[in-house]
Structure 1
Amino acid sequence: MTSIQSTKPNLTSNDSAVLQALFDAESSPSNAITINAALPAYPSHLNISPELLQTLQSREIAIIRTLQSEATSLAAIQQAIQDLDALIAEYPTYPSAYVNRAQTLRLLIDSTPLPPSEQNKEKEEEDDKLFTPQNTEHASRLLADLGQAIALATPQSPADPVSTVQARLLADAHTHRGYLLLKAARVKKESSEEERTGGPDRLRGLEPGQLEDMASRDFFFGGRYGNKVAQQLAVQTNPFAKMCGAIVKEAMRKEMVGDQVVQF
């Protein structure tokens, strides 16, 4: 773990502690979450008993296994989405089904060929397909599913302990959504006004900076629930850390320049 120590008397111990919290991923507030392995998988208000959970997991696993072949067809992906639709319609308080439908929608987007008008455009990464006009509906559903999973699994009070299943789901869902928001911010930065017609409906009208702030918040919670990658990304995207980093760098630059000035 990297420590930030004061080398000048004008940096107080409190200043050092603040900078430590901002820049050190290990000082993430993940320690504030109490994970209790003895708790049921999901909170009681979701009405998912251990017996029902076993049934739901069996159905879910059977659906996901149809997608594990390297040569999974578009028809198989679409059928899996329909099966998850049916599962969610029957048990709308089961958070895991929303996460898996989001993953399957992302697989559908990745597997669907772009129209000829888009195929000639060079894409830096495959995930840019999420933000094309063709995939607006699927991308909107994907984000909505992640949001619903998070809403269902989040404890009613920040002080409430969470189960290991609950913590893992929240960590993964927040991190996945944060990644998509960060991608959306980059795509918007690199697109002209005319090109900003695709992507999820709920992200339209948002500026890149707003999307980055939303991503930072998701990474914060993803890290808080135990995702190590999210902890690192939370530090990198934290606007306060960026601001303080710029201030610290400027102060160091001035000190270095000042040391080199020859006074007469």
Structure 2
Amino acid sequence: MTSIATARPSLTSNDSAVLQALFDAESSPSSGVTINSSLTSWPTSLNISETDLASLKQRETDIIRRLQSDKSPSEDTLKSALSDFDSLITKHPTYPSAYTNRAQTLRLLVDLIYNTTEANPADTELADAALFAPQTSQLCSRIFADLGQAITLATPASPADAVSTAQARLLADAHTHRGYLLLKAARAKKGLVGGDETGPERLRELSADQLEEMASRDFFFGGRYGNKVAQQLAVQTNPYAKMCGAIVKEAMRKEMEGDEKK
């Protein structure tokens, strides 16, 4: 990507600063988040005691280890893990981490179901379409619901409030995960990997541009809470950055054409 500092057209210092902020992921306001490692893992409003937290972490670890023990977990293994996460969440509905882990387990199940029903699962475009195929749309809806609930539970009441290390990590991962899915949905809407009838029903009425803008917002927050990949994706999907980029490129092209005619 062309650096603003090398642009040929003359820009005011303010324009340059604005454009640099749009194009440079490192200038995103991640510094606006205060991470305080001395805070308890989760806000007191979630009513998760330290005793309960230790037990919940151990139960999560046990479920995840069972999944990781098998290089290619079977459908039965995945469904068993999902059942365990369901039980955990039923007993502790305010525990954010369980929702993100259940969402990831659902992702594995979606891929498994799709790959066993498609003739060429190795095809990149087909693999991208897995989350938005008719046979997996309900599971996809559950993934979005779980990521949304995790974000709701972990997000501080005020943007100015400090967050714990665990909160920041979860919010970075959950926003980035959801942004990635929304970006896939935008691609599907454009007809690259699917069609208008793919994905969760609540997303079908949205245009590809709307989905991409939603993805950009999630990437922004993912980057704000510390995910470096999300910072880069936020820049790439930011509609204002793309618009300004097109304007700058056109101005540079005209400037260079003018120089050649002299």
Which interval holds the TM-score relative to the shorter structure? over 0.9
CA distance in 2, matches of 1:161, 1:134: 42
Contact 1:6 1:12 in 2 (8 A): no
2:155 matched residue in structure 1: 154
Give me the TM-score of the superposition, normalised by structure 1. 0.92
Question: What's the offset of the Cα at 1:125?
Answer: 4.7
1:204 matched residue in structure 2: 204
1:249 matched residue in structure 2: 249
2:92 matched residue in structure 1: 91
CA distance in 1, matches of 2:258, 2:3: 25
Question: What's the offset of the Cα at 1:120?
Answer: 6.6
Question: What's the offset of the Cα at 1:143?
Answer: 0.5
5+ unaligned residues in a row in structure 2: which ranges? Answer: none
CA distance in 2, matches of 1:5, 1:51: 54
Question: What's the offset of the Cα at 1:9?
Answer: 8.7
2:139 matched residue in structure 1: 138
Question: What's the offset of the Cα at 1:254?
Answer: 0.6
Contact 2:144 2:178 in 1 (8 A): yes
5+ unaligned residues in a row in structure 1: which ranges? Answer: none
Judging changes above 3 Å, is the alpha-carbon distance between structure 1 residues 3 and 261 closer, same or farther for their aligned structure 2 residues? closer
Question: What's the offset of the Cα at 1:191?
Answer: 6.0
Contact 1:134 1:198 in 2 (8 A): no
Judging changes above 3 Å, is the alpha-carbon distance between structure 1 residues 7 and 120 closer, same or farther for their aligned structure 2 residues? closer
CA distance in 1, matches of 2:17, 2:192: 40
1:76 matched residue in structure 2: 77
CA distance in 2, matches of 1:90, 1:34: 31
Contact 2:125 2:193 in 1 (8 A): no
AA partner of residue 27 (structure 1): S
Give the alignment of 1:1-264 within 5 angstroms: 4-5=4-5, 10-68=10-68, 69-113=70-114, 118-119=118-119, 124-190=125-191, 195-262=195-262
Question: What's the offset of the Cα at 1:71?
Answer: 3.6
SS of the aligned residue for 2:67 comes to coil
Contact 2:100 2:174 in 1 (8 A): yes
Count of residues in Structure 1 that have an aligned counterpart in Structure 2: 259
CA distance in 1, matches of 2:7, 2:174: 41
Question: What's the offset of the Cα at 1:232?
Answer: 0.3
Deviates more, 1:4-13 or 1:18-27: 4-13
Contact 1:77 1:108 in 2 (8 A): yes
CA distance in 1, matches of 2:89, 2:246: 47
CA distance in 1, matches of 2:114, 2:5: 53
CA distance in 2, matches of 1:10, 1:252: 10
AA partner of residue 104 (structure 1): T
Give me the TM-score of the superposition, normalised by structure 2. 0.93
CA distance in 1, matches of 2:150, 2:110: 20
Judging changes above 3 Å, is the alpha-carbon distance between structure 1 residues 49 and 83 closer, same or farther for their aligned structure 2 residues? same
Question: What's the offset of the Cα at 1:12?
Answer: 1.5
Question: What's the offset of the Cα at 1:114?
Answer: 5.4
Question: What's the offset of the Cα at 1:185?
Answer: 0.6
Judging changes above 3 Å, is the alpha-carbon distance between structure 1 residues 243 and 160 closer, same or farther for their aligned structure 2 residues? same
Question: What's the offset of the Cα at 1:112?
Answer: 1.3
CA distance in 1, matches of 2:152, 2:39: 19
Judging changes above 3 Å, is the alpha-carbon distance between structure 1 residues 196 and 9 closer, same or farther for their aligned structure 2 residues? closer
CA distance in 2, matches of 1:9, 1:251: 7
Contact 2:8 2:252 in 1 (8 A): no
CA distance in 1, matches of 2:7, 2:114: 57
Contact 1:174 1:219 in 2 (8 A): yes
Contact 1:135 1:198 in 2 (8 A): no
Deviates more, 1:170-179 or 1:181-190: 181-190
AA partner of residue 20 (structure 2): Q
Question: What's the offset of the Cα at 1:21?
Answer: 0.5
Q: Deviations over 1:29-70 (max 9, x none)?
A: 101100011110011100112221111000111111111111
Percent sequence identity over matched residues? 65
SS of the aligned residue for 2:226 comes to coil
SS of the aligned residue for 1:119 comes to coil
AA partner of residue 16 (structure 1): S
